[in-house]
Amino acid sequence: MPQTEHYLTSRQVQGFIDDGFVKIEDAFCAELAAQCTEELRAEIGLSPDEPENWTEPVVRVASKSSRPFVEAANSQTLHAAYDQLVGPGRWVAPLGLGTFPIRFPSSRLPADDGWHVDMSFGQSNSDFMAWRVNVMSSGRALLMLFLLSDVGPDDAPTRLRKGSHAVIARELLHYGRAGASLRQLSADGYVSTQDCDVALATGAAGTVYLCHPFIVHAAQAHRGKRPRFMAQPPLMPVGEFSPALPPSPVQLAIRRACGLKL
């Protein structure tokens, strides 16, 4: 792959393996971000200039597949990064973005700010605590955080526990292909990762954080002044990890964590 300023450097790829995420600035243009936020504002019916109507700390929109969202998810920069982290031909081009936890400044604490790992399969079960994740990360290639508005330290940035993906990989190894349910994995409140350093997913609109599927992360209260817009979709894999193909950085992080041959 030819190297340009838009592609991840070897240091960035190694940082993804070590820390569990990489920050990509200008992953898509600010104009697209503005178009996305405008469409979301229209859907939820809340104006950024009428804070008296911001009565909830978070309003959620499930998914959007109109042109701005499709283009934001499929920029040339991001396609190159998907290839580098997951492997060429091993991921499915996103058909849009979602979900959108739109957070507002509020004196009320959000009810969704606990530490967790996103589950990757078993979503047909009506009990979401039974949804599952396994050490092969079946059903998910990456967790992605798309910043659609500027996000500073006070604007409810997602919290990321650096290196927690390695701890979770070791825990999942014991569950085999069946994996662990959310109920099993969260039983102790992720105490095994509580000593990890915490990074904040801040940045200008158009920034994307590409995260390892196992990273432990959490929302937090909004202490700023303007609504925060972001999307947190998965990148879907084409299939299971293939031993016939060179291991991707996602796989290398898991193998290293589990003490397996790289």
- Chain segment 82-124, per-residue pLDDT in tens: 999 999 999 999 999 999 999 999 888 899 999 999 999 999 9
Q: What pLDDT does residue 108 have?
A: 86
- Chain segment 122-136, per-residue pLDDT in tens: 999 999 999 999 999
* Tokens 């499929």 found at: 74
Residue 202 burial by Cβ neighbours in a 10 Å radius (0-12, 13-18, 19+): middle
Cβ pair 73, 81 in contact under 8 A: no
* Tokens 């701890």 found at: 167
Architecture of domain 10-257: Sandwich (2.60)
Cβ neighbors of 139 (< 8 A, separation 6 or more) are: 120, 121, 234, 236, 237
Q: What's the mean pLDDT in 14-36?
A: 98
Q: Can you give the pTM of this predicted structure?
A: 0.95
CA dist., res. 122 & res. 59, Å (int): 25
pLDDT of residue 157 exceeding 80, the answer is yes
pLDDT of residue 200 exceeding 90, the answer is yes
